[in-house]
Structure 1
Amino acid sequence: MQKSDLVLSPGLSQGLGLALMIGTGLLCLALAYMIKTRLVRNTHDFIISNRRIGLGFGVGSIISVWTWAMAVMMSTAMTYQWGLSGLFWFVVPNGFAVMAVVPLAKILRRRMPAGYTISQFIFSRFEQSKVTSGVVTITMIFGIILEILINLKGTAVVMSTVFSIDWRLATMVTVVVVLTYSYFGGLWTSVMTGTLNTWMITVPAAIVIVAVFGMIDGGATAVFDTVDASKPSNLSIMNADAAAGFGITLAFGLLAATVADQTFWQKVWAIRPNQVARTFLWSGALFYPIPICFGMLGLVALAYGLTPADVGGDIVAVGPYIVSHIGLPLILILAYVLAILAACYSTIDGASSALSSIVAVDIIKRYAPKTSETWLFYITKLSVLIGGIVAAAIVLSGADFTSLVLTTYALKTSILLPLILAIVWPRTNTVGFVGGIVLSILIGMPLRAMYGELAGTLAIVGISGGAVIVAGLLSRRSFDMNNLGVKQAMRLEG
């Protein structure tokens, strides 16, 4: 197995790549227009789907927003960088992070059945503290922008690697395509196109990976034997360097990416109450095969002896490079690209929908409660476009994909324990909540820069959780969860 055997497959023109991107978007646009006509009549429909999402669409939509560029491309990159230890540390926390939402979701759906956003919960939980809710709102918006830009970056990487499309052009096309159809249907569009995209991710993934191994003399056995002969530790899941280098940071970040992300809380309040737990449990379990399949491409890259320089310097391009250079039929290469486009598009769509709910509930209705329904509807939809434009501007700066992911998760980790404690521990107070988040970022991020991912992540977790606990123990006040207010939600629904 020599990397000189890897040659770009013929027929992968820029025009074909652009047609694939635009064609996928047009399909989603047609679906979005149908949804808008039949299901979206006001802001409530746009941001919460009238709380009528069932098990099937719920599972499909959650898997699609969780199977973003990171899942389909970073799983390959981490396997390439760390071997099976990288795949282990990437896959195991991923599904668990989705399932971890269940106990918290059950508490809030019971205590705050007419809620819309996690920031709205914080506003009520801390007795209408605008400081506390403002910190959470800013954190949520920042996280959503980062989610959008990471998936824009993922699309740019795959299209530039497979079709030689300039990554800047790929970024701009993705922004225009996804935000156009997201603008029409809101959460209903995200849910239905996301379910369609889940099928576009899972089925091609399995077929393409089998075909890749079929192109190699000796198949999977030859790949594993070659990797073992080159570096046996790449076939071990017990590599401590992988855990310290990215695994622990990623594990906490993944938990934060579900527990502290409006993309998921929006669905908690949109899914029918009796289906919430089942939806998140099934979503977490059914997610696992996806990164495992894509991760195998990392072992193939190791077997061929690829270096980062061979794929343009960014190791997330390893998967697209293997698929487009190993000699697969054109139809299978296109199926792989469609799977990644589906993953990126659906996550950008879901994040945009989450952003619209934050703008409507936590900004407009909180600070300008007399805004008319007509203006609220237009402002909410406009926020989708603004979020995409901001994210695209950041992507065009040329930031590294892996660094974006790990930095995003490090920042999100700062809110993980304060938010969980706010839900389950009545003595959590404003000083501890805000202080924990702010101090963990101010102290933890510099430590991360100086001493690495592991030290920085543990510092962020320890400081954020410790501040909440200390402040709570020093105070004698407890919050009664039965007092959660839902006046904002009632105004929107009414």
Structure 2
Amino acid sequence: LIGFGTIFAMGMIGMTICLHRYLGEATDSSETFSTADRKVRTGLIASSVVSSWTWAATLLHSSSVAYSYGISGPFWYASGATVQIVLFCVVAIELKRRAPFAHTFLEVIHARYGRSAHIVFIIFCLVTNITVTSTLLTGTSAVVHSLSGMNIAAACFLLPLGTIIYTMVGGIKATFLTDYIHTVAVLIIILFFAFTTYLTSPVLGSPSKVYDLLVNASQIHPVDGNAEGSYLTMQSKQGAIFFIINIIGNFGTVFLDNGYYNKAIAA
């Protein structure tokens, strides 16, 4: 884990040095460090948003709710996590129009609503970022522990080191570059799992085989709260309850996370 993190951090630092040497993109000013001079293109912004919204829970929890509620689980998980990004696009556009030189959305809150509202939102954002960071670290550490047997507490402390190093050197531009790499890696993993499950797996290998096994599973272990106990129905009471909880919680984790506003500001 330490070796991989070090190699990845060195790679990002090397890329930052190359950008400085050959393209003149330095990070020697606070403006460049925090906003990338507000000239990041659409492709990097889009991949960065995808990477930021792809948590450990995106692949892990969506799978667990599929086991618990059937196909309604991952559907409601995805539905409850896309509305916020669509609505946030409107907020991001207005932020760029009305406060083109802002560095954080808390600056805008202070300028528009005053000191009291500013303090309240600082507390909300702090709690949100602590929650999000804890979720990411514990989820990823659990995966590392399952794959390698590494101590979970040690993984929680060591995982952020590489990110801290390349961010200190390259600023927000370095995070955009790593987000692009993360997005490519996630897409490759998803495609690998999909093709393995539905095409090449000796256990499954086809959509019809998966369907037959799910029908058989609903007869052996019917899902409580689903129509006829089926894994293949959208009529799921627990799935609907999960959707409501998911969509409400995700509004907070998007609109109170300054990381998303930073991406809008850097565009």
Seen in structure 2, the aligned counterparts of structure 1 residues 22 and 83 have a Cα distance that, compared at 3 Å, is farther
Deviation at 1:85, TM superposition (A): 1.1
* Distance (whole Å) between structure 1 residues aligned to residue 10 and residue 183 of structure 2: 17
* Distance (whole Å) between structure 2 residues aligned to residue 166 and residue 28 of structure 1: 27
Alignment counterpart, residue 203 of structure 2, candidates 217, 226, 240 = 217
Map 1:435-474 to 2 at 5 A: none
Matched, 1:251 2:251: no
Partner of 1:186: 171
Deviation at 1:23, TM superposition (A): 3.6
Deviation at 1:110, TM superposition (A): 1.7
Deviation at 1:183, TM superposition (A): 1.7
Deviation at 1:199, TM superposition (A): 0.9
Alignment counterpart, residue 232 of structure 2, candidates 230, 235, 241 = 235
- Give the counterpart letter for 2:157 in structure 1: M
Map 1:25-424 to 2 at 5 A: 25-34=9-18, 38-126=25-113, 129-213=114-198, 214-219=200-205, 220-231=207-218, 232-244=229-241, 246-271=242-267
Q: Which moved more, 1:71-80 or 1:206-215?
A: 206-215
Paired residue secondary structure (2:187): helix
- How many residues align? The count is 252
Kindly provide the CA deviation profile for residues 171-225 of structure 1, in whole angstroms up to 9, marking residues without a partner as x: 2220222212222122111111111221111123202332244223342433332
Deviation at 1:18, TM superposition (A): 5.5
Deviation at 1:258, TM superposition (A): 2.1
* Distance (whole Å) between structure 1 residues aligned to residue 188 and residue 216 of structure 2: 32
Normalising by structure 2, we get a TM-score of 0.86
Deviation at 1:64, TM superposition (A): 1.0
* Distance (whole Å) between structure 2 residues aligned to residue 146 and residue 35 of structure 1: 34
Kindly provide the CA deviation profile for residues 374-430 of structure 1, in whole angstroms up to 9, marking residues without a partner as x: xxxxxxxxxxxxxxxxxxxxxxxxxxxxxxxxxxxxxxxxxxxxxxxxxxxxxxxxx
Q: Is the 8 A contact 2:197 2:204 kept in 1?
A: no
* Distance (whole Å) between structure 2 residues aligned to residue 19 and residue 180 of structure 1: 14
Seen in structure 2, the aligned counterparts of structure 1 residues 79 and 39 have a Cα distance that, compared at 3 Å, is farther
Paired residue secondary structure (2:82): helix
* Distance (whole Å) between structure 2 residues aligned to residue 188 and residue 85 of structure 1: 38
* Distance (whole Å) between structure 2 residues aligned to residue 173 and residue 130 of structure 1: 37
Percent of pairs identical after alignment?
A: 19
* Distance (whole Å) between structure 1 residues aligned to residue 17 and residue 67 of structure 2: 41
* Distance (whole Å) between structure 2 residues aligned to residue 73 and residue 183 of structure 1: 30
Aligned residues: CA RMSD: 2.1
* Distance (whole Å) between structure 2 residues aligned to residue 200 and residue 84 of structure 1: 25
* Distance (whole Å) between structure 2 residues aligned to residue 259 and residue 67 of structure 1: 16
* Distance (whole Å) between structure 1 residues aligned to residue 210 and residue 59 of structure 2: 20
Partner of 1:338: none
- Give the counterpart letter for 2:11 in structure 1: L
Seen in structure 2, the aligned counterparts of structure 1 residues 269 and 85 have a Cα distance that, compared at 3 Å, is same
Seen in structure 2, the aligned counterparts of structure 1 residues 216 and 238 have a Cα distance that, compared at 3 Å, is farther
Paired residue secondary structure (1:79): helix
Seen in structure 2, the aligned counterparts of structure 1 residues 93 and 230 have a Cα distance that, compared at 3 Å, is same
Seen in structure 2, the aligned counterparts of structure 1 residues 35 and 68 have a Cα distance that, compared at 3 Å, is farther
Deviation at 1:21, TM superposition (A): 4.6
Unaligned runs of 5+ in 1: 1-16, 272-494
Paired residue secondary structure (1:234): coil
Paired residue secondary structure (1:100): helix
- Give the counterpart letter for 1:194 in structure 2: D
Deviation at 1:160, TM superposition (A): 0.9
Q: Is the 8 A contact 2:128 2:252 kept in 1?
A: no
Deviation at 1:107, TM superposition (A): 2.3
* Distance (whole Å) between structure 2 residues aligned to residue 201 and residue 80 of structure 1: 21
* Distance (whole Å) between structure 2 residues aligned to residue 215 and residue 152 of structure 1: 31
* Distance (whole Å) between structure 2 residues aligned to residue 36 and residue 179 of structure 1: 20
